[in-house]
Amino acid sequence: MRLPPAASTIVRAATALAAAVLSAGLLSAAAPTTAAASVAAPTTAAASVAVPTTAAAASARPTLAPARLARPSGVWARGGELANALTGRRLWSRGLNVRRPMGSITKVMTALVVIRAGDLERKIRISDAVVRYGSRDDASSAGLRAGDVLTARQLLEGMLVPSGCDAAFALATAYGPGWKTFVAKMNATARQLGMTGTHFANFDGLPWPTGDSTYSTPRDLVILGNEAMKSVTFRNIVRQRAHWIGADAQHHRYYWRTTNLLLGSYPGAVGIKTGSTPASGYCLLFEARRNGRSLIGVVLNSSDTNPGIRFAAAARLLNWGFTIIHAPRPR
């Protein structure tokens, strides 16, 4: 994903503030009481974490939705959806079929194509071209080193945890073969899944050839997320807050931290993927599980300037969703 200047500073500040607020137990468990939904993003980091995320609220016994919970409020996103991941039932949406760029959420499809192809222990040598690509246009990078030899599985970690565009390029060129052939496979998979409002122009969601050349809809991205989460390999990667690879004779040491700040701060969060470009704004495809219930959702363009807003929007949706759905009956 492409980050604007000083984004890393904003993320660090939002992360530190979120941790402080959570540790102090200051987040409210009260449900939103209005049906108003705004797309205007707050301008402070504090606003990005001031949402109910306590374990007590999340684990409360589910009840039928009262009238005041008919719609969630305070969800800052121009597009989005929340669904029951187990049944597929849609609980909330905004701009359900409106096509929007989604940044590095694109990499979920890249991962799905690679995982379906298999042979995840195949070894891939990192070329100079991969390293150059990872350093272009402020792209997020796994910091891959030219000459290193990594497995496809390790490159999936480098693509999904720190959102490495260099890792995505390495996988696309290896599994195409060639990135153009690989992107064609991505679009073919989208058609097979019924993602009718989606088109991939590249393998990582960077804004080329234009900012909106790669696009999708909230409906399609929830379909994609559900399909990807069927894979144990994918699930095990996207739930990690960090991943470490020790140095050996074939590669350097790598340490990657997740870009998904919902992990570790929202109880029950199990993934999935962040995304951002100047055209897409800050986006998040997410899933959380509690007490036999599972919710999946996406928020698109939650803010153009504050990366923390997407996590706050997701948390509000999840709190609302867990309140209104019943746990599945025991068999």
Predicted confidence at residue 138, as pLDDT, reads 79
- 23 noted as active-site residue: no
Q: Which among 317, 260, 295 has a CA at the least distance from the CA of 105? A: 260
Confirm if 165 and 134 have CB atoms less than 8 A apart: yes
Mean of all residue pLDDT scores within the chain: 83
Predicted confidence at residue 74, as pLDDT, reads 87
CA 294/CA 106 separation, integer angstroms: 23
pLDDT at 137 over 70: yes
Structural domain boundaries, residue 23: 7-324
User: Of 163, 280, 294, 303, which residue is the catalytic one?
Assistant: 163
Predicted confidence at residue 12, as pLDDT, reads 44
C-alpha distances (whole Å) from 254 to each of 81, 89, 157 are: 35, 40, 10
Report the share of the chain in percent with pLDDT over 90. 74
Q: CB 62: neighbour CB atoms within 10 A?
A: 17
pLDDT at 326 over 80: no
Q: 81 has which bridge partners?
A: 93, 298
User: Of 107, 265, 273, 280, which residue is the catalytic one?
Assistant: 107
pLDDT band at 136 (very low <50, low <70, confident <90, very high): confident
What digits encode the pLDDT tens for the residues 37-67? 333 333 333 333 334 443 333 333 333 334 3
Residue 1 in domain = no
- 230 noted as active-site residue: no
Residue 329 in domain = no
Predicted confidence at residue 330, as pLDDT, reads 52
Residue by residue, DSSP assigns 70-134 as SS------SEEEEEETTT--EEEEESTT--B--GGGHHHHHHHHHHHH--TT-EEEPPHHHHHHH
Residue 73 in domain = yes
Q: Which among 324, 306, 323, 329 has a CA at the least distance from the CA of 4? A: 306
Residue 237 in domain = yes
Predicted confidence at residue 41, as pLDDT, reads 36
pLDDT band at 142 (very low <50, low <70, confident <90, very high): very high
In three-state secondary structure terms, 248 is: strand
Residue 317 in domain = yes
Report the share of the chain in percent with pLDDT over 70. 77
What CATH number should be reported for the domain holding residue 155? 3.40.710.10
User: Of 48, 93, 104, 302, which residue is the catalytic one?
Assistant: 104
Q: CB 106: neighbour CB atoms within 10 A?
A: 32
Q: Which among 4, 44, 48 has a CA at the least distance from the CA of 304? A: 4
pLDDT band at 199 (very low <50, low <70, confident <90, very high): very high
**Which residues make Cβ contacts (< 8 Å) with residue 45, sequence separation at least 6?**
10, 13, 14, 17, 306, 308
User: Mean pLDDT throughout 148-167?
Assistant: 98
- Output Rg (C-alpha) for the chain, integer angstroms: 19
Stated as kind and residue range, the H or E segment containing 237 is helix 232-238
Residue 275 in domain = yes
pLDDT band at 325 (very low <50, low <70, confident <90, very high): confident
pLDDT band at 329 (very low <50, low <70, confident <90, very high): low
Per the structure, how many domains does the chain have? 1
CA 177/CA 166 separation, integer angstroms: 16
CA 321/CA 317 separation, integer angstroms: 6
Residue 2 in domain = no
- Prior bond of 237 cis (ω within 30°): no
Residue where the block lists tokens 């492409």: 2
pLDDT at 250 over 50: yes
**CA 121 to chain CA mean position, Å:** 25
pLDDT at 156 over 50: yes
Residue 330 in domain = no
pLDDT at 259 over 60: yes
User: 218: burial class by Cβ within 10 Å (0-12, 13-18, 19+)?
Assistant: buried
Phi and psi, residue 274, nearest 5°: -90, 170
User: Mean pLDDT throughout 78-82?
Assistant: 98
- 107 noted as active-site residue: yes
Predicted confidence at residue 37, as pLDDT, reads 33
